[in-house]
Structure 1
Amino acid sequence: MGILKRLLQKLSLFPGIFGLGFICLLLATILSDLSPFILQKMIDGPLTALSQGGELGALYPMGVLYLIVLAVGQIISYIGNRVLIHGGNKVTAQLRDQAFLVMQQLPISYFDDKPAGKIATRIVNDTETLRTQFYNSCMYLVIHLMRFFFIMGVIFTINPMMGLLLCLIFPIFYGIQSLYKHMTDKPMKDFFDSRSEINTQVNELLHGASMIQLYGQEERVIDEFDQTTEKMTVANDRLVLADSIASWSLTEFLKYIVIAGILTIAGLSYLGGDLGMTAGFLFINLNYVIQLFDLMANLIRRLPDIRRSLETGERVLTFLDEKVEADATEEIKIDRAAVEFDHVTFAYEEGKPVLKDISIQAHPGQTLALVGHTGSGKSSIMNLLYRFYDPQEGEIRIDGQNIRHFSRESLRSHMGIVLQDPYLFSGTIASNVAMSQTDIDRDRVLDALKQVGALPMIQRLEKGIDHPVVEKGSAFSSGERQLISFARTLYMNPKILILDEATSHIDTETEEIIQKAMAVLQKGRTTFIIAHRLSTIQDADQILVLSEGRIVERGQHADLIAHGGIYAQMQAIQQTVE
């Protein structure tokens, strides 16, 4: 009940909308469900008189009144439905926006073991399911219940005996509803699980299409996708079967039995000479019985949907309850950009440290390089510097300020980061360099591209810096994407540069161009370079060699070579390979 309560509490976000919608539907229910009384009067009055030689004129006023009442009721019902659906859409949009905001505020560690497809399902599909199967169903449920009790009240008023007899059928409807729930519980779970799995598979296919083709895995991927879609199809077929049997066939069967009973009783009364039941009275009884059964059939369908949607609601609310990253509000001010790691220890998993007692001092304007074998902890140090994670022990200070005490956004605004795998966003080259769709300084964009040696590439493009970039920049080569990514960093004019394997996807000629640009850029800036190619860091002011999470050697290139340790061995191996 906690999930149901929390989901219903979301309606209070828009009280005016839902209040207006319910008032409209209440009025529409009264008008629509009382309109049959006008028909009863018409049947027992002017129509009966007409069959006995009366005049047609008396029928017109009642007919016009009936049409007016019916039309007004339908118009008000339409307005009420639109208003309530609009309210449900706004609640869903609010949930979706909140989920998206939570996703942006989650720590990077949350995404380490979460498939992107499942997270997308929570934000997109599950919130949409709440809209269609919970909020919209709740709206219709309220409408149906409102009409149900209203009609039952009318039936008890005009025919108490029939009202009591109809109450005997309710346990049967409860049984049908339980049967429907039993038939749909597992298929519905399979359906949503399969949909989530499909999202994950599609996401992996989009990001790994080249590897799938290179390793000839197309058939395997297609088979896995077909199995998932088959599971989803089977589940949907079972839902359709349950819907057709439980919610319609059985309720229709009961409805016609009751109608046949009413007509039989009326016929026997007529044949027995008892004319106390008029045609209009018979009509109104049949009309309300038919409406009542139709409402119960809809209730059978809606109630399980609401119950099942609570599982979806629980997944969404659980996601919304995820602990977001705590962050300070104070903005850090960086002038000199002196960076210090003071006895830092860090672990992604408790008890398994990947960095052990790391101490680093990078003076303003220095270039500091990190080298080491895969898994030695190089990237982890950078993850701590731009606060994707915080250390369990020790402090990281910039200009003597503990970075944990300042907001991440303000810290990162002073850093220019070029990652090993360059990522471009949909837009243009200019928007990717400036990281903005508005207020782009085109001269600065061109200057940044020129400094990294990307001007010849820009000149080849018909639209220059306005050339469109599709998702992830797939139309550009790896080297071109890296050049744009590097220009992005230059455009920011940061105090601190972080180059994480920035030249790993660039050919030798392009690397030489970037090295020249870097030499200009690094003046007055503190630079961290992670590199496997030792030729790119020979001029670094300080080189740190990491092994198993510890700094085992430090110094300049010539000193480390003379030392004959791990760095010298790495240099010898690379020279041999080259």
Structure 2
Amino acid sequence: MDKKTTGKRLFHYALLYKRTILIALALLTVAVAAELTGPFIAKKMIDEHMMGIESPWVEVVEEDEKTVLYQDGLYKRIAYVTEGESIGEKELQIVQVGRSFYATSEHLPFDGNRKIEGNVLTVTQGTNVVDVEAERLTQQEIFAFYQPEIRPIVVLLAFYVGLLVVAAFFQYGKAFMLQKAANRIIQKMRTDVFEHIQRLPIQYFDNRPAGKIVARVTNDTEAIRELYVKVLATFFTSGIYMAGIFIALFFLDQKLAMITMVLVPIVLIWMVLYRRAASKYNHLIRTRVSDINGMINESIQGMPVIRAFRRKEQLSKEFETLNDEHFTYQNKLLSLNSLTSHNLVFVLRNIAFVVLIWYFAGQSMSAAGLVSIGMLYAFVDYLNRLFQPVTDIVNQLAQLEQARVASERVFELLDEEGEEVNVDALPRYEGNVRFEDVTFSYDGKNDVLKNINFEANKGETVALVGHTGSGKSSIINLLFRYYDIETGKITIDGMDASVLPRQQLRKHMGIVLQDPFLFTGTIESNVSLDDPAISKEQARKALQDVGADRFISKLANKYEEEVLEKGSTLSAGERQLISFARALAYDPAILILDEATANIDTETEAMIQHALNIVKEGRTTFIIAHRLSTIRNADQILVLDRGEIVERGTHDELLDQQGTYYQMYQLQQGKEVSKVG
């Protein structure tokens, strides 16, 4: 499947819940904006308040909360002087040298390397040198100059804490909404997959182990869920986070921000290269997971046979081979992931800090000395924050590739052509069935049915007999339209069956198999299959008609008795009676009994035969039987051999012909006699 097509289909699934996702992204944007104001606030605190006391001070007349008393004079930072405020002639500048602070009445024209000798402060920047007299400040005087800055710093800190609370609230909302959308998407996808499986033709399941199909509905969709819950959430979060950081960097320094933008194409290129390398391993891993699921499912289904024929050791070896292959591919993928995740981010981070040091130290500081400590802190903080989303993105590449491969497998299943669902009700037909020159092949090469011609009228019972592989079940498969024919014609009441909707065609058919399948639920629900059209009374009457109430009356919960998977707590005869009741409750126009009495004891068979004589009235009944004694009263018996009808007639007519049917009957009679003797 085309990778672009897979991406588009995943995107279309996401669009089903775009409102929730857009709300989540809006919440995320607010959270990121709130969180990324931290370095700006820190820069303002450092440059304007902590380092702000080094800005020029002027003498003022009136005292307020921004003034500082120094040597019998009131001083205020020029930044705090309001328009119209009276100021004196004296000026003051605070300079930090080492850990000490000095005050000078002269304005420093530039900043640079500072040195103090006695009361003389020397400032050097390149070839420019200036000497001024300075007086060292006491701790009390230093605290006094910082006093006007305490309240603004506290206000900024409180504002930042408030923003963090807001960010946390919105981050929670973002995570909740994104995960809700992801779970909804996967719920929808699993429903689509399961419903599509119900529409797939029977031949799709002929060559595919059930475990492999189950793996696509469970394991693969779970991997896709991780895509929406973790991978896309991480990509969205990291993308918006990085965008916010780059915007902030551009506000701080456009040139350096442009340099750091180089990280984006590097990460994108790395993602493309990683996907190419990891795709093969992920395909092999998902295939091995399906194989393992298929083998486990088959082993559980065939556990009695495995135990009886002592195949445990051989199956363990086969399973170990699959497990070892899965382990090998997982290790190869692990090695690839180890090379790509932390190593890449570590290298990129070191390169970024080298560029930062070179730019600030080698360019800005030597050129004009205009880079403030707050600016440097903010840039370092943003760079540190930048590599967290980069790390998150790189670490999710493995999960992204696994999800992509799983998506291909799921969409491959969804692309299988299914049977069209037609909800238009088809009136209950009479049940007149006609096969006209029907020839059929499962593989397109070997014909399993050849020129089949027969007619079954309403109310008749038609028996199909023959050796294994003669084509009996194939006739029923065609009647049910599990498969479609290419040669010949099948009609029901004169209507071409190939143009009738499959679902509506089968709605008026009932079938009882040799090995009946019961679902988890109750005895009653296994008859009605939770069809609202079948009431409790109808289901129970069907059970009574086939004589099932004989054993049901002995159960603790009667008709509400719990049935485990496949009806394992019931005997073969009891399961078969429930299966009969199921077919009868749906009141079919055509009833098919496929070796239905093979696993039933003689007494139970007699009860069912009596019930069938009642319910067959007005129905066309097809019976596939090996025990010829069960079809004595059939209106028509078709004897098949290698896909052809070699004899036809009633029981007595066929015995009179003394052909194939006669030989089969005599053989069975002889076996029964030998048993008695």
1:218-367 to 2 correspondences below 5 Å: 218-256=312-350, 258-259=352-353, 262=356, 276-303=370-397, 305-326=399-420, 330-334=424-428, 336-367=430-461
Q: In the TM superposition, what whole-angstrom CA distance separates every residue of 1:130-155 from its partner, at most 9, and x where no partner exists?
A: 22136752343233223223322332
Q: Displacement of 1:501 after TM fit?
A: 0.3
Specify which of 287, 306, 309 is matched with residue 212 of structure 1: 306
Range 393-402 or range 543-552, more displaced: 393-402
**Letter matched to residue 60 of structure 1:** V
1:91 aligns with 2:192: no
Check 1:501–1:541 CA distance in 2 against 1; reply closer, same or farther (3 A cut): same
Range 536-545 or range 322-331, more displaced: 322-331
Q: Displacement of 1:478 after TM fit?
A: 1.4
**Letter matched to residue 25 of structure 1:** L
Specify which of 17, 20, 33 is matched with residue 30 of structure 1: 33
Specify which of 562, 576, 583 is matched with residue 482 of structure 1: 576
Q: What residue ranges of structure 2 are gaps of 5+ in the alignment?
A: 54-98, 100-141, 673-677
Equivalent pair of 1:328/1:406 in contact (CA under 8 Å): no
Check 1:343–1:272 CA distance in 2 against 1; reply closer, same or farther (3 A cut): closer
Equivalent pair of 1:331/1:411 in contact (CA under 8 Å): no
Equivalent pair of 1:194/1:228 in contact (CA under 8 Å): yes
1:128 aligns with 2:222: yes
Specify which of 3, 6, 17 is matched with residue 3 of structure 1: 6
**Letter matched to residue 552 of structure 1:** V
1:39 aligns with 2:65: no
Cross-structure match for 1:390: 484
Cross-structure match for 1:189: 283
1:102 aligns with 2:196: yes
Counterparts of 1:530 and 1:116, CA distance in 2: 27
Check 1:64–1:439 CA distance in 2 against 1; reply closer, same or farther (3 A cut): farther
Counterparts of 1:267 and 1:575, CA distance in 2: 106
Say which SS state the counterpart of residue 349 (structure 1) adopts: coil
Q: What residue ranges of structure 1 are gaps of 5+ in the alignment?
A: none
Check 1:281–1:328 CA distance in 2 against 1; reply closer, same or farther (3 A cut): closer
Specify which of 142, 148, 158 is matched with residue 236 of structure 2: 142
Check 1:241–1:446 CA distance in 2 against 1; reply closer, same or farther (3 A cut): same
Equivalent pair of 2:282/2:405 in contact (CA under 8 Å): no
Range 474-483 or range 244-253, more displaced: 244-253
Cross-structure match for 2:65: none
Counterparts of 1:406 and 1:178, CA distance in 2: 50
**Letter matched to residue 23 of structure 1:** A
1:562 aligns with 2:565: no
Equivalent pair of 1:184/1:238 in contact (CA under 8 Å): no
Cross-structure match for 1:12: 15
Cross-structure match for 2:560: 466
Equivalent pair of 2:183/2:225 in contact (CA under 8 Å): yes
Cross-structure match for 1:542: 636
Q: In the TM superposition, what whole-angstrom CA distance separates every residue of 1:101-130 from its partner, at most 9, and x where no partner exists?
A: 211111112211122222222222222222
Check 1:334–1:255 CA distance in 2 against 1; reply closer, same or farther (3 A cut): closer
**Letter matched to residue 24 of structure 2:** G
Range 13-22 or range 438-447, more displaced: 438-447
Check 1:181–1:416 CA distance in 2 against 1; reply closer, same or farther (3 A cut): closer
Q: Displacement of 1:271 after TM fit?
A: 11
Say which SS state the counterpart of residue 516 (structure 2) adopts: coil
Cross-structure match for 1:435: 529
Say which SS state the counterpart of residue 541 (structure 2) adopts: helix
Check 1:273–1:166 CA distance in 2 against 1; reply closer, same or farther (3 A cut): closer
Q: Displacement of 1:66 after TM fit?
A: 0.6
Counterparts of 1:511 and 1:260, CA distance in 2: 89
Q: In the TM superposition, what whole-angstrom CA distance separates every residue of 1:3-52 from its partner, at most 9, and x where no partner exists?
A: 22232233332332222222222232222223320122223344457995
Check 1:8–1:475 CA distance in 2 against 1; reply closer, same or farther (3 A cut): same
**Letter matched to residue 30 of structure 2:** L
Q: Displacement of 1:500 after TM fit?
A: 0.4
Cross-structure match for 1:446: 540
Check 1:124–1:476 CA distance in 2 against 1; reply closer, same or farther (3 A cut): same
Percent identical across equivalent pairs?
Answer: 37
Check 1:257–1:533 CA distance in 2 against 1; reply closer, same or farther (3 A cut): same
Check 1:10–1:418 CA distance in 2 against 1; reply closer, same or farther (3 A cut): same
Equivalent pair of 2:226/2:399 in contact (CA under 8 Å): no
Q: Displacement of 1:403 after TM fit?
A: 2.6
Cross-structure match for 2:117: none
* TM-score, scaled relative to structure 2: 0.78
Specify which of 493, 506, 509 is matched with residue 587 of structure 2: 493
Check 1:382–1:269 CA distance in 2 against 1; reply closer, same or farther (3 A cut): closer
Equivalent pair of 1:366/1:525 in contact (CA under 8 Å): yes
Write 1 or 2 for the structure with the bigger share of strand: 2
Q: Displacement of 1:308 after TM fit?
A: 5.0
1:518-529 to 2 correspondences below 5 Å: 518-529=612-623
Q: Displacement of 1:197 after TM fit?
A: 1.6
Cross-structure match for 1:407: 501
Equivalent pair of 1:190/1:235 in contact (CA under 8 Å): yes
Specify which of 58, 62, 69 is matched with residue 163 of structure 2: 69
Equivalent pair of 1:330/1:405 in contact (CA under 8 Å): no
Write 1 or 2 for the structure with the bigger share of helix: 1
**Letter matched to residue 420 of structure 1:** Q
